[in-house]
């Protein structure tokens, strides 16, 4: 089989219906970061995803290969060939960075995370998500575990652009706020990273059954969202940092606010002006 990164992604997508839960975790990871096949051994991929190397081997066999090594060799042949010299230089530089100072590694990873966020912004899926947030009658957001602060921050800022924005906290245990009125267009934004909140899949499924559009911001390990909603944005998992404030997802949410503002146009400008007047009235700032 002639295999480059593009056809590898197509092969993975075609195999998706027949994958097990753990194999779907590999699928989600490689679809979000297909260059990992060039840079990681099966053992490294397995360790990152908290699965066994044999699971990785079975995954590649379902794609029609004897081993991960066979896939890697074929992809490298294309990536490092004479027609792909720029890719050759890019991947060679990533490999060489492993032997340099840790600060250089961190800096390079941060840049890659930013690049990934901007790349997602250029996809057709992004435009649909912007429309769902801008045009819905109401928008709700929830962040599980340590990601609650992102959902709360998103809602506070989105309120400056449009009305009927609500943070979900799940304190009541049933998410009672997520009951759309007849003909109400409701969008739910979910934010989570590994290890994922147990309520995530249950809430997404319940929301879809109630006719709510679900948008998920997650890291690249997120496999549970597949099949629950087409609106999933996966960002590089920042596992090299200790307790990171996720750069990729944070930038993605910032870009979402920017593009929703553009989509709303004059109505957003007028709303911001009114809220600015209210800030002045109550004297909220020193200057």
pLDDT band at 243 (very low <50, low <70, confident <90, very high): confident
Give percent of the chain with pLDDT exceeding 70.
84
118-127, 194-203, 244-253: least confident range:
194-203
Q: Last residue of some domain: 101, 126, 160? A: 101
Higher pLDDT, residue 189 or 57: 189
User: For residue range 96-128, what is the model confidence (pLDDT) as tens digits?
Assistant: 444 444 667 778 778 888 998 999 999 999 999
With respect to residue 287, please indicate whether it lies within any of the assigned structural domains.
no
Do 70 and 158 lie in one domain? The reply is: no
Short-list 142, 263, 154, CA closest to 212: 142
Do 92 and 120 lie in one domain? The reply is: no
With respect to residue 129, please indicate whether it lies within any of the assigned structural domains.
yes
Do 180 and 222 lie in one domain? The reply is: yes
Do 160 and 244 lie in one domain? The reply is: yes
Asked if residue 273 has pLDDT above 80, the reply is yes
Short-list 2, 1, 58, 3, CA closest to 27: 58
User: For residue range 18-30, what is the model confidence (pLDDT) as tens digits?
Assistant: 899 899 888 888 8
Exposed/middle/buried for residue 214 (C-beta within 10 Å: 0-12, 13-18, 19+): buried
Overall number of domains in the chain: 2
Look up the domain containing 273 and give its range. 107-282
CATH of the domain at 135: 3.40.50.10490
């Amino acid at each position: 089989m002639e295999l480059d990164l593009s056809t590898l992604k197509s092969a993975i997508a075609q195999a998706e219906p027949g994958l097990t839960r753990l194999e779907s975790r590999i699928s989600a990871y490689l679809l979000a970061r297909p260059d990992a096949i060039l840079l990681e051994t099966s053992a490294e991929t397995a360790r990152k995803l908290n699965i066994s190397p044999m699971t990785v081997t079975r995954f590649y066999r379902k794609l029609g290969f004897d081993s991960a090594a066979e896939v890697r060799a074929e992809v490298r042949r294309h990536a490092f060939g004479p027609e792909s010299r720029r890719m050759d230089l890019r991947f060679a530089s990533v490999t060489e960075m492993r032997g340099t100072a840790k600060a250089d590694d961190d800096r390079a990873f941060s840049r890659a995370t930013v690049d990934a966020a901007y790349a997602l912004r250029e996809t057709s899926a992004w435009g649909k998500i912007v429309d769902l947030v801008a045009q819905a009658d109401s928008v709700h957001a929830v962040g599980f575990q340590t990601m609650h602060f992102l959902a709360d921050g998103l809602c506070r800022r989105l309120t400056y652009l449009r009305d009927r924005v609500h943070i979900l906290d799940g304190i009541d245990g049933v998410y009672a706020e997520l009951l759309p009125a007849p003909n109400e267009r409701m969008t739910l934004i979910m934010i989570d990273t590994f290890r994922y909140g147990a309520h995530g899949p249950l809430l997404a499924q319940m929301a879809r059954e109630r006719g709510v559009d679900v948008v998920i911001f997650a890291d690249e390990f997120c496999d549970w969202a597949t099949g629950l909603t087409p609106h999933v944005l996966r960002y590089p998992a920042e596992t090299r940092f200790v307790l990171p404030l996720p750069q990729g997802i944070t930038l993605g949410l910032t870009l979402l606010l920017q593009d929703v503002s553009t989509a709303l146009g004059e109505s957003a400008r007028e709303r911001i002006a009114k809220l600015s007047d209210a800030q002045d009235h109550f004297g909220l700032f020193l200057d």
